Amino acid sequence: MYKPAILCLCSLIAFTSCQTTANHRRTGQTPPPDWQAGEDTPPPLIPGAPDIPLPPTDLPSPVVPADSKDSPSTAPVRLGNSAAQIWVSTKRWALDNGLREPRAVPFAGGSAYALTTAHGEFTFQPGSLTSYWDGLELRLGYAPQLSSGEIFLHVLDARKTLEILARGLAVAASPRRVIVIDPGHGGKNTGARSVLDGRQEKEFTLDWALRLAPLLEQRGWHVLLTRTNDVDISLPDRVTFANEQHADLFLSLHFNFPGSGNREPAGLETYVLTPTGMPSSITRGYPDDAREIFPNNAHDADNLRYAVRLHRAMLQVNGNNDRGVRHARFLGVLRGQNCPAVLIEGGYLSSSKEAQLIALPVYRQRLAEAVANALQ
Ligand SMILES: [Zn+2]
């Protein structure tokens, strides 16, 4: 059964067998003129995707214990042996961290809770995977739960979202400051097509990257690109390149397209690898084994910090049309990275309004400036 999702994301995992000589080089040149190339039809959806149901895992849906409010301190409430069954009282978490307990706030006709920290405010809703950090949308792994009038957060959401952001968005920078920018797609891997005129995602991502590179160099980054022209580079090659270069940050650039249906989504999405133990925000029909540990999971904290910084900056470019910072486990360019890694979607090519923006060089320049400013 097809799940509405993102063509661009699925095409990311569709070309692992394509082996094209990588054209890596340090950049600083001006963006090329617009060009169009490639095939007349976009790549098929999820070629080779396994048509099998998700495998069972050891991570059942969590349940809040009735007596959880009586547990001592912020010690997680444990139900059995699975991490998926552990919940944290946000009231006790706040008090233990010298903060005021979460307060109920009106939210979209329902109820939500706001927890103010020194670095920002976390807003979350019982029964909803959508939370907010200073108004920026973040997807949780598990929906917060109310029990006896107290609001509980899953322990993984507490550790992998709240506690990380509560410490601030600063990331320890290496003196080398190497960033690998990955313009999504290339060559026969065209990516999505604009609803306006069929122009291809691969063109826009490369232009975005070439605009971004000199801006980052001006800010002290040593910049490398996975491609600087219209070539198809496999996902493993992109990961290998970043690892060989000992990158401090890997940033993959994309534009979006819905998978199917009549929806016409618009807005910005930012992806990081799903922390181990947590279900993904999107699976694209692929298995999503929460038990898996990938090299990039060592960077869960900085993944999120970079993602929030990037997402927040880009929202200022598109009028705050926010589709959230999300978790995905199937994205091949993120999983194997030995450094923080983020994939950003700069708008929907399926939305006539956003496709018009994406077609404008000034919009892509503003996206590039937003990303550069977020990485200062
Ligand atoms: Zn894409």
Q: Mean of the pLDDT values across residues 128-139?
A: 97
- Residue 295's pLDDT band (boundaries 50, 70, 90)? very high
Distance CA 252, CA 332 (A): 11
| Tens-place pLDDT, residues 42-66 | 222 222 222 222 222 333 333 333 3
Contacts of 22 by beta carbon, 8 Å cutoff, 6+ apart: 226, 227, 231, 233, 237, 241
pLDDT at 94: 96
Residues above pLDDT 70, as percent of the chain:
76
Cα 258 to ligand 1 centroid, rounded to whole Å: 11
- Residue 339's pLDDT band (boundaries 50, 70, 90)? very high
Q: CB burial class (10 A; 0-12, 13-18, 19+) of residue 287?
A: middle
Calculated CA dihedral for residues 105, 111, 115, 119, nearest 10 degrees: -80
- Residue 108's pLDDT band (boundaries 50, 70, 90)? confident
Cα 244 to ligand 1 centroid, rounded to whole Å: 23
Cα 47 to ligand 1 centroid, rounded to whole Å: 15
Residue given tokens 């070539």 in the structure block: 231
Cα 220 to ligand 1 centroid, rounded to whole Å: 27
Distance of CA 183 to the CA centre of its chain: 15
Q: Which carries the bigger pLDDT value, residue 50 or residue 3?
A: 3
Cα 355 to ligand 1 centroid, rounded to whole Å: 14
| Tens-place pLDDT, residues 135-189 | 999 999 999 999 988 999 999 999 999 999 999 999 987 888 999 999 999 999 9
Structure tokens at 367: 């996206």
pLDDT at 263: 64
Cα 186 to ligand 1 centroid, rounded to whole Å: 10
Cα 270 to ligand 1 centroid, rounded to whole Å: 12
Cα 205 to ligand 1 centroid, rounded to whole Å: 8
Cα 171 to ligand 1 centroid, rounded to whole Å: 26
Residue given tokens 């890997």 in the structure block: 250
pLDDT at 320: 83
pLDDT at 34: 22
pLDDT at 261: 57
Structure tokens at 34: 């617009």
Examine the pLDDT at 308 and tell me if it is beyond 80. Answer: yes
Complete domains list, the chain, with CATH: 7-49+171-374 (3.40.630.40), 68-158 (3.30.457.10)
Distance CA 103, CA 332 (A): 40
- Among 54-63, 102-111, 284-293, 344-353, name the one with the lowest average pLDDT: 54-63
Cα 339 to ligand 1 centroid, rounded to whole Å: 21
Q: Which carries the bigger pLDDT value, residue 285 or residue 374?
A: 374
The DSSP secondary-structure symbol of 123 reads E
Cα 254 to ligand 1 centroid, rounded to whole Å: 4
| Tens-place pLDDT, residues 250-288 | 999 999 998 765 467 899 999 999 999 999 999 988 999
pLDDT at 110: 81
Cα 182 to ligand 1 centroid, rounded to whole Å: 11
Examine the pLDDT at 354 and tell me if it is beyond 60. Answer: yes
| Tens-place pLDDT, residues 204-232 | 999 999 999 999 999 999 999 999 999 99
pLDDT at 69: 31
- Among 42-56, 67-81, 345-359, name the one with the lowest average pLDDT: 42-56
The mean pLDDT value of the chain amounts to 81
